Structure 1
Amino acid sequence: MRSLPAQATIVATLLQAVGTSAQGECSVNLRSEYPAARAAEGYQARLIVSGLSRPRGIIFDKSGNLLVVESRAGEVTQINFSTDDKVTCLAGSQTKTLVSMPELNHGIEISPDGKTLYASGSDKVYRWDYDAAAGTLTNQRTIVQNMDNPDHVTRTLYLSKKHPELLLVSRGSAANIDPLSADINSGISQIRAFNLSTLGSTPFDYPTSGTIVGWGLRNSVGIAEHPITSGLYSVENSADQVHRGSADIHEENPGEELNFHGILPPSPNARPPNHGYPYCLALWSPEIPSPGDLTTGSQFTYTSPLPPSNITDESCNSEFVPPRLTFQSHMAPLDIKFDSSGARAYVSFHGSWNRDSPAGYKVSAVAFDPQRGEPVDRPDSRTAAVDVLVNADVSSCPRNCFRPAGLAVDGEDRIFMTSDSTGEIYVVARTVRDEGGGGGNGGGDGLGSGAAGKGGSWGFMVGALVMGVWGLWAL
């Protein structure tokens, strides 16, 4: 293993209360080159890794190592954490490159026994035998192929927790508005499930193999199962530069989507659910020409390009599967992870490429009913995503701020987040307990409602009151 250079020293502090400072403090504080990040009331956060090469997907192995896909380097990196007191301080100083392949860019997954690792490029999914203790990958094999296309090149990987023989692979569109997505046989804008127990001597062919979990999904980068009900959800990046009639409505529409895909395994004989893209999109702001009865979360059609004549607002809402929740436009959700109770789903919002649309660039929590396994908010809610970690100055984004990409949740329900643009990893932890084990935003989260800058309640972590705001939050 190699020691991290000074600028990439791994160190974290998770102060639970003022009194915990007596148990010892982390001796190193990493500093960001942009305005300090802010955690919501009820949460604490810390920059713990820097100096990475565009980190994207992350996952923990059985030994507690964090595995990171560094997309610019095309590497999977193992980060070893050690700790004297896991409650207050998480620190480490070693990394190891497990594999270096230029095509690796985002997806990563690990088998339940921790002995098999999966990673993906735009065209293929690879599998290795993994030895966590030795930090080695052996016996590389391609298991899915033929899914390359331009524009959206990441291929999210997800192994079902209830059916670990099912590997889900998400493939996005080849253009902003991609007419090939309307062809179910194209394999574009789909999530497919591949039964690994049936893998033969040749890799699965993406467009013709597996079972379609959902299609008409422009670019569903994040996938997760609810830990109690096993209900499958994804977060979808919707279209840009949309017009309706002669009106340019792209600033506020369409919204990004949280989609529900049922319980795995999908029936191979059932009609695969179509979520509407490329003809139907989810409405965020009803302030569009001829809105009729459309509300946030309704599906609508548009005129860039013209859809087939039989596609109308009415057919969009009767013939296609609507989103379970809709988020503000241009937020670009890239991952979703549940906490162990199933009361919260954390979503990383990567933010817009458009400097005139400073949305996103944050991690938010969506309240779930743990027993029912569905969001607490109604489908037409505009306040379901409650901010957890935000940039202090979103006007400086996207060039001078963190940009959330991959998420991982450990056994302590701490959230680990990669920032691909800055080469960093943050850790976020709740500082309050749920009251009565209930879901929702109860239990003292203190997040308020709505997005940052729109009524959210913000506070620096308790330790900052002891150590000084800039001393602790010099991220």
Structure 2
Amino acid sequence: MRKLWAAVLAGAIALAACTNSDHSEQPPEQATGQPGSPEESPPTRTPVQVPTGLNAAPFDQPRYLDVPAGWTVAVYARIDKARFLALTPSGDLLVSQPSTGKIHIVRAGKVTEFVSGLRQPHDMVFAQLGGKMYLFVAESHRVQRYPYTDGDLKAQPGQVVVDGLPDSSTPELRGSYAHQLKNIAVHGDRLYLSIASTCNACVSDTVSDPRRAAIYTYAAAGTNAERKLLATGIRNAEGLAFRPGTDELWAVVNNRDNTLVPDDRDVDGDGQSDKGKRMAQFVDDYPIEPFIKVRDGGFYGWPFCNPDGKGGFDRDYELNRDGQRADCAKADPIALGLPPHSAPLGLTFYRDGAVVPLHGSWNSTKPAGYKVQFIPFGNGTPGAATDLVTGFVGPDGRWWGRPVDAAADRDGSLLVSDDGSGTVYRLTPSK
């Protein structure tokens, strides 16, 4: 139920305005779009509106973003290294800041501290259990829940739900954990938790306890209660979200880097096989970043099988070239491939689709990602992704912003975090 509260409120407002409802009210096959739907409007270069006092760099000069025609974009708040977002039931915005161990709250444009003293807090979810509202917060080593009362500006005392999660403090990892930030979802009485890989590609994560590069589920009301391994082979599931009105858990995944050519293809056009070579022109476009529907018992390939972009998988040349460690023909197919190395982070269901910010590549010869995409859903399946927000990379190829997460506000606008510039934006659709 990742950010489901905000999505339901936005859907209710849309319904009251006699527009089509979101998936929590109407089956996807009946959805026909809404005025200003992202996939129906061409992108338009639009100035970023910057309120007085929020114009520190990079907004010390005019900035523009490409958004759907008729949409506006404005700076909503400035928070250094802002990561994940959660809209409170009262309509305030929570923003996680792993670098300082804090979560901030934004009310009426004012930023204050909601809770501090945490260990790399990342994802946040509001959920109701036993008739009471809670805020669940994923730290690198545990998940806590905080009772929430409408209007709270400070967190109430927290209760540990899951403890002892692996992070850089885990003795066997000796201070090294590449993807220790945690992401969560809550659905019914269950908590869903992504434990990402410690590495680019390694076998050790597949035999650890708890298993890494996996998604687990726990009782949301207990401490380490009823732990169950849900799915494996998921290198780094950053966004977890249940599609409104369904029991479907979806995730966006950061896939591996620096993959060797897996077969006899001729990458450089010299007429010779490039099998087993590491080549920049191959790595730039391989493998795709998976968007998956998570199945109980599912296996999604990593680190032994890489999605080939055609609906199947290639055996990883380094770890599974002979197919002995995994049968790639039995890996669960991905639902949609996102641009290689684009680093999808947040996942928020919005209107008749999903919003996915792409944080951006670190080792591609040309920038990949650095934008926000919209994925329409029809008949319960994702369609081709379209760009919702672009323009974070300048003409010189250097980025000035890196989008992370999105949240749907009550009025139907989108709030988007950017940890590169330390900003939260408000995107307002056309009427």
TM over 0.5: yes
> Superposition pairs for residues 73-472 of structure 1, below 5 Å?
73-81=100-108, 92=109, 94-112=110-128, 115-149=133-167, 150-160=177-187, 163=188, 165-183=189-207, 185-197=209-221, 199=222, 203-204=223-224, 209-244=226-261, 245-248=275-278, 249-262=282-295, 266=296, 272-284=297-309, 295=310, 297-307=311-321, 309-310=323-324, 315-316=327-328, 318-340=329-351, 343-354=352-363, 356-369=365-378, 372-376=379-383, 384-391=384-391, 393-394=393-394, 396=396, 400-431=399-430
Q: Deviations over 1:454-474 (max 9, x none)?
A: xxxxxxxxxxxxxxxxxxxxx
Native 8 Å contact 1:237 1:332 kept in 2? yes
Percent identity among equivalent residues?
22
1-side partners of 2:73 and 2:67: how far apart?
A: 13
Per the alignment, do residues 308 and 145 of structure 1 end up closer, same or farther by CA in structure 2, a change over 3 Å counting?
farther
In the TM superposition, structure 1's runs of 4+ consecutive aligned residues that sit over 6 Å from their partners are: none
Q: Name the SS for the 1:368 alignment partner.
A: strand
Q: Which runs of 5+ in 2 are unaligned?
A: 1-35, 37-48, 168-176, 262-274
Task: Find the counterpart in structure 2 of residue 64 from structure 1.
Answer: 91
Per the alignment, do residues 276 and 306 of structure 1 end up closer, same or farther by CA in structure 2, a change over 3 Å counting?
closer
Per the alignment, do residues 374 and 309 of structure 1 end up closer, same or farther by CA in structure 2, a change over 3 Å counting?
closer
Per the alignment, do residues 373 and 429 of structure 1 end up closer, same or farther by CA in structure 2, a change over 3 Å counting?
farther
Aligned Cα root-mean-square deviation (Å): 2.5
Native 8 Å contact 2:359 2:371 kept in 1? yes
Per the alignment, do residues 54 and 276 of structure 1 end up closer, same or farther by CA in structure 2, a change over 3 Å counting?
same
Structure 2 residue 66 is matched with structure 1 residue 39: yes
1-side partners of 2:330 and 2:91: how far apart?
A: 45
Native 8 Å contact 1:46 1:426 kept in 2? yes
Length, aligned pairs only: 353
Deviation at 1:308, TM superposition (A): 5.5
**TM-score in terms of structure 2 length:** 0.75
Deviation at 1:353, TM superposition (A): 1.4
Q: Deviations over 1:270-309 (max 9, x none)?
A: xx1111111011124xxxxxxxxxx3x4211222345554
Native 8 Å contact 1:172 1:189 kept in 2? yes
1-side partners of 2:364 and 2:117: how far apart?
A: 32
Per the alignment, do residues 49 and 413 of structure 1 end up closer, same or farther by CA in structure 2, a change over 3 Å counting?
closer
Deviation at 1:178, TM superposition (A): 2.4
Native 8 Å contact 1:391 1:401 kept in 2? no
Per the alignment, do residues 402 and 366 of structure 1 end up closer, same or farther by CA in structure 2, a change over 3 Å counting?
same
2-side partners of 1:171 and 1:322: how far apart?
A: 21
Per the alignment, do residues 139 and 50 of structure 1 end up closer, same or farther by CA in structure 2, a change over 3 Å counting?
closer
2-side partners of 1:252 and 1:139: how far apart?
A: 47
Q: Which runs of 5+ in 1 are unaligned?
A: 1-15, 17-25, 82-91, 267-271, 285-294, 377-383, 433-475
Q: Quick one: which amino acid aligns to residue 344 of structure 1?
A: G
Q: Quick one: which amino acid aligns to residue 78 of structure 1?
A: I
1-side partners of 2:339 and 2:419: how far apart?
A: 21
Q: Name the SS for the 1:181 alignment partner.
A: helix
1-side partners of 2:50 and 2:192: how far apart?
A: 41
